[in-house]
Chain A
Amino acid sequence: MRNLKTFIQDFGWPRIIIFFFLVGLFIMAPFVNVRLDASISDVLNRFGQNAIMVLAMVPMIQSGCGLNFGLALGLVSGLLGATLSLQFELHGMLGFLGAIALATPFSIIFGWLYAKLLNKVKGEEMTIAMYVGFSFIMFMCIMWLILPYSNPTMVWGYAGKGLRTTISVENYWLHILNDFLAIRIGQFFVFPTGLLLFVALFAFLMWLFLRTKTGTAMTAVGSNPDFARASGVDVDKMRTISIIISTFLGAVGIIVYEQSFGFIQLYTAPSPMVFPAVAAILIGGASINKASMVNVIVGTILFQGLLTMTPSVINSLLQTDMSEVIRIIVSNGMILYALTRKIKVSK
């Protein structure tokens, strides 16, 4: 009994409620003519699409910079990499890996500048980060128009310049990971092996990194910066590294998302992608200065599961479109819940 109690306490009521809600949705699905196998396949796919962006939250949480509300910087780096890869006509796996490679220098530069700023505003990182994200996306709205891209699949047809809002990657690297070793069962179920392997690889690398000397120092910086400093750790350097890694993972995350989704979305599209990533890691049980791989995986499955199942099941049930409302309530509610838990962290 006591074990159960402590388990519930550790896991947290919101997570348990969401878990049972999700299970309930799966149970209800067949009764409202929603195919279970298609739903599961969908959840797995969405998990793979989003997991790396959620993983991007981990380094900054660990180093005490809080939740990366400025993930947009990473997303934009990824978009730059993806569009450049198309511009250079890179196809297939080469195109996908090329996109990541091209995005890397941008993510390092943006991450470094972003870190410079965040190191000046310790304690207020999250608020500042949010505005950095918003303003950077707006700045890029101008850049997408004036950067000299020329690939006809990407630019506006009538003007011959300026990137379109949505660019298809169909002839380049669509489903390059999803279809790698994919297992198809029946008409509706596809197991996206390549995608999940890729996610697992990154989660494993992150797990390893947190166990190195640098990773250990980073965690200590997040846990108690004064302690870390007294032990000879350069606090600002650790924070900078964590922010650069987070930005890089944001870039990889959006490219993985695009190859699965099929389109590169530009302009204001990255804006609404940040909050779901934040919400997912919080649902997974991370606090604002502790996060683990388990938090990432559990959180992404729960959050994306909810997102997949609510439209199909609830809408069929209520005959009305509630999905967006529920999604917003859950994601923002979760962020709110986690931020109020901030005080529980001992100092």
Chain B
Amino acid sequence: MTNGSSLLSIEHVSKDFYGNVVLHDVSFDLHEGEILGLVGENGAGKTTLMRILFGMPVIMETGGFQGSIKIGGTEVHFSSPFDALDAGLGMVHQEFSLIPGFTTTENIVLNREPMRRTILNDVFGERMSVLERDKMRERAEKAISKLGVDLDPDMLVSEMPVGHKQFTEIAREIDREQTRILILDEPTAVLTESEAEVLLKTLKRLASEGIAIIFISHRLQEVLAIASRIVVLRDGHVVKDTVNENIGMRDVASWMVGRSLGEAGKRAEARNLGQTIFSVRHLWVDMPGETVRDVSFDVRKGEIFGIGGLAGQGKLGIPNGIMGLFPAGGEVTLDGKSVPLNDPAKALAMGMAFVSEDRRGVGLLLDESLEWNIAFTAIQVHRQYLKKMPLGLFSLRDEKAMEELCQEYVRLLDIKCTSTKQKAKELSGGNQQKICLAKAFAIKPRLMFVSEPTRGIDVGAKKLVLDTLHHYNRDFGTTIVMVSSELEELRSICDRIAIVDEGRIAGILPPTADISEFGLLMSGVAVEEAVNA
């Protein structure tokens, strides 16, 4: 369905942030009137690519990028988003960048208002021109009618339903006469189903008028419904660039998440797991950005239970809620005993431990020694590493026992440090993560939550962290619930994997399940289909 020459070409674009490669030799073309669906997991490089396209300052500050971008055949170098706008690129953001106290019209023509000269112009210059209200309205109406939706030009943005806000944003972009390319980043994420449908229709209409659209979404059914071509990014590589013909959702899903399949299969050993020791019923957690709505699952003794899903769907809310760090409700039982929610001390005392995804914010005492970091929770929760003073009136920290404990873990987990007195902030990310694990191990938990254990650490450290978890699970029987956005990681060590979508568990799969099943669950479609498959 390519009509005309290519409007935008991205040629051999690579980008790294301080050696960490995010985009690797990405090339694709965009033609006039084409809708290109860009899909990929979190961290696949979609956002970085859009930033490069828009000349965001962050790209230049981190050393620019390799490769070139051509618009209409000529190479362009944007030094700021304004250049990109002038060149005809329009962007509709995930978060609304509208002014709530202004009307639809005012928002659409903002900063491009038609002006009428007044006498004051001669004295004070251009800034004293007045707005031409009727022309503004005219232009807004034209943009709205182009969209083919019903928007009130005089309504305040603050009073609009979300769907209308999204349309206002799009109207603003197409009001610019030169806009030829429109980029939409997850435009349907906040919309209801019917609103999303209208939006998709509108996009098709715009495309038929010759505007090229890049549509980024993780809702695969939408991408398949409107895109004429699909580009799949994975780990910074374009893994698929294909015309949208005879493609099933399953195909796209497996391109999106799939690495080699054999890897995970070999780990699927038959294990004799004990009975259920931990169960969660109708859990809700009010964690900003990671809301959990209604989650129920059971974990069996000695199991490594994985929880995956895309960012913002609520997988991180589950351990944070159970451990009492965010307001939560529902029923949680450990060993048949009910776990009180919203009380970290009780949750810890019941024999649960938590390795937070927010290592520097929650996981560590950056300004204290490694000894403190590892022993602190044990001191507070189980009154360990304290020694009674004569008379038994009070007890003090047992610095010697703390040092021994710390040395033991430094040896066990191969933590690279100059001494156990070193401050936690001086260690590298991987070693900091090991300290967090040691802290959790030190209280000898019956059930351990591990949240994003390999985020932001290098490959070698990743392996060590995963091996450590595996080792503790097999040799000490620690039951582990591991939350991670890296599916491969979950598949490599978990016994079962639950995928969370929109605050609910979309399905629970064995690690050997086909990669496309996971992709489908993450995309929030065909739950039944996947379960029955």
Binding site for B on A (CB under 8 A): 208, 211-213, 216-217, 219-220, 223-224, 226-227, 229-234, 289-290, 345-347
Contact = CB atoms under 8 A, between A and B. Distances in A.
Given A208-B396, A212-B396, A213-B395, A232 B377 contact: yes
A116 B358 CA distance: 29
B345 A211 contact: no
10 closest residue pairs by CB, A with B: A232-B345, A231-B377, A211-B396, A226-B362, A232-B348, A223-B365, A232-B344, A346-B366, A211-B397, A223-B367
Contacts of B323: 230
B354 A230 contact: yes
A345 B367 contact: yes
A231 B348 CA distance: 7
B325 interface: yes
Contacts of A232: 344-349, 377, 380-381
Given A231-B376, A347-B361, 20 more contacts: A211-B396, A212-B394, A213-B380, A213-B395, A216-B379, A217-B380, A219-B368, A224-B361, A224-B364, A230-B323, A230-B344, A230-B363, A231-B348, A231-B377, A232-B346, A232-B347, A232-B377, A232-B380, A289-B367, A346-B367
Nearest to B394: A212
B366 A347 contact: yes
Given A230-B325, A231-B381, A216 B362 contact: no
A133 B367 CA distance: 30
A290 B362 contact: no
Contacts of B364: 224, 227
A347 B376 CA distance: 18
Interface string B371-389: 0100011011101001000
A180 B347 CA distance: 53
Contacts of A208: 394, 396
A290 B367 contact: yes
B319 to A, nearest CB: 11
Of the four ranges (under 10, 10 to 19, 20 to 34, 35 or more), the interface on chain B belongs to 20 to 34
Interface in B167-220: none
30 contacts: A211-B396, A212-B386, A212-B395, A212-B397, A213-B379, A213-B395, A216-B376, A216-B397, A217-B380, A220-B365, A223-B366, A223-B367, A224-B361, A224-B367, A226-B361, A226-B362, A229-B344, A230-B325, A230-B344, A230-B362, A230-B363, A231-B381, A232-B344, A232-B380, A232-B381, A233-B380, A346-B366, A346-B367, A347-B361, A347-B366
B432 interface: no
A230 B356 contact: yes
B146 interface: no
B425 interface: yes
B148 to A, nearest CB: 49
A232 B439 CA distance: 13
Nearest to B344: A232
A222 B214 CA distance: 48
A234 B376 contact: no
Interface string B249-292: 00000000000000000000000000000000000000000000
A223 B368 contact: yes
A111 to B, nearest CB: 21
Contacts of B344: 229-232
Interface of B: 323, 325, 344-349, 354, 356, 358, 360-368, 372, 376-377, 379-381, 383, 386, 394-397, 425
A324 B363 CA distance: 48
A233 B365 contact: no
Which of A219, A224, A346 is most buried by chain B, counting CB atoms within 10 A of its CB? A224
Nearest to A234: B345
Contact of A220 (B348, B349, B356, B376): B376
Contacts of A229: 325, 344
A212 B388 CA distance: 10
Contacts of A220: 365, 368, 372, 376
B406 to A, nearest CB: 15
Contacts of B396: 208, 211-212
A208 B361 CA distance: 29
A123 to B, nearest CB: 15
A316 B360 CA distance: 55
A212 to B, nearest CB: 6
B369 to A, nearest CB: 11
Contacts of B349: 232
A227 B344 CA distance: 11
Contacts of B380: 213, 216-217, 231-233
Nearest to B366: A346
Contact of A224 (B346, B347, B365): B365
A325 to B, nearest CB: 37
A229 B344 CA distance: 7
Nearest to A222: B367
B345 A227 contact: no
B325 A346 contact: no
A291 to B, nearest CB: 13
Nearest to A230: B362
A234 B343 CA distance: 9
Contact of B345 (A233, A346, A347): A233
Nearest to A209: B394
A216 B376 CA distance: 8
A210 to B, nearest CB: 9
Contacts of B397: 211-213, 216
Nearest to B325: A230
B381 A227 contact: no
Contacts of B362: 224, 226-227, 230
A122 to B, nearest CB: 15
Contacts of B367: 223-224, 289-290, 345-346
